[in-house]
Amino acid sequence: MYKVTSRWGHQNSVKVEWNLGKRCNYDCSYCPSSIHDNTSPHTPIETLKSVVDKLLTLNKPVRLSFTGGEPCVHPQFEELIRYARHKGVPWISVTTNGTRPYEFYSMLPVSQYVFSIHFEYDWNRVVNTLRKLRDSTNLNLIGQIMAHHDHMPMVKLVRQVLLNDDIASTVRRIRWTEGDHDLFDDLRYHPNDLNWIKEQESTVQGNCVIDDQQILHSNDVIKLHLNQYKDWTCNAGIESLMINWDGEVHRATCRVGGSLGNIYDGSFDIPTEPITCTRNWCTCAADIPLTKTNNEPS
């Protein structure tokens, strides 16, 4: 490979992965404590609104993608979404565990929901919410099936249910280890289950163009181990930013290049140049569609 880029022409905009807070009403066994708990305070709404204002000074269209923790547990999340829309943010995506009532999700003026389906909790409720939203809205909807090795019969069932209901989905292997030294803990899976996972193509439209020819979804890029970009030039920081739960800003979820400062206190600087990747693997689906170029094509 010599090049990866976004299929949707996002090279002239900035996607902001905003980890709204560590607070979550789940405690999934594979989710590290560094990114979730049930005690961290919620960031004040005025601070969050000031971040929207700051992002709109970047002179590029901003696409917001809210994550956590669980972003929907913030008591003023609806107010923040409506403020961002009022200020002209054209695209807002929310990744959620789907435990709020259907009515909550249906009233928010967002563009897309990614419902992460965790089999240590009530997956059926989440699937039912997806069905209701499919029938009553025009939102982009994605079921992100977290393929826990101890729950593979239910994983396979939900995958088939979403296929039958024409709801876009991805099947995600669980990455238990932190850091990039071990891409996935594949040995936890029975070989038959692991092979099944690898055979499941994302039914979400492909968002990555590989070498100006092949179109794949970023989750399939990971599955096929096409996500090795060490020493490549990457537009992380140019096409993306990542806001941590405490306001610290990085170029992307990979955090390559270190901190850019803190947007909550206004002390961050936007990069103006691409960066050279230092990681062995690009492990976040949000980072993979960023423009990347192999400096030494084979």
Distance in angstroms (rounded) separating the CA atoms of residues 257 and 178: 18
Percent of the chain with pLDDT over 70: 97
Mean confidence (pLDDT) of the chain: 93
Percent of the chain with pLDDT over 90: 85
Segment 185-232, tens digit of pLDDT = 788 999 999 999 999 999 999 999 999 999 999 989 988 889 999 999
Q: Are 66 and 20 within 8 A, CB to CB?
A: yes
Q: Is 291 exposed, middle or buried (0-12, 13-18, 19+ CB in 10 A)?
A: buried
User: Which pTM was predicted?
Assistant: 0.94
Segment 273-287, tens digit of pLDDT = 999 999 999 989 999
Distance in angstroms (rounded) separating the CA atoms of residues 287 and 298: 23
Domain 11-205+236-274 has CATH 3.30.70.141: no
With 80 as the cut, is the pLDDT of residue 1 above it?
Answer: yes
* Assigned token pair, 170: 């991805």
Q: Are 64 and 56 within 8 A, CB to CB?
A: no
pLDDT in the model for residue 297: 59
* Strand residue runs (E) in 87-224: 91-96, 112-117, 140-147, 169-173, 208-210, 214-216
Q: Where are the domains of the chain?
A: 11-205+236-274
* Assigned token pair, 6: 């976004």
Q: Are 235 and 292 within 8 A, CB to CB?
A: yes
Q: Are 119 and 154 within 8 A, CB to CB?
A: yes
With 80 as the cut, is the pLDDT of residue 113 above it?
Answer: yes
With 50 as the cut, is the pLDDT of residue 181 above it?
Answer: no
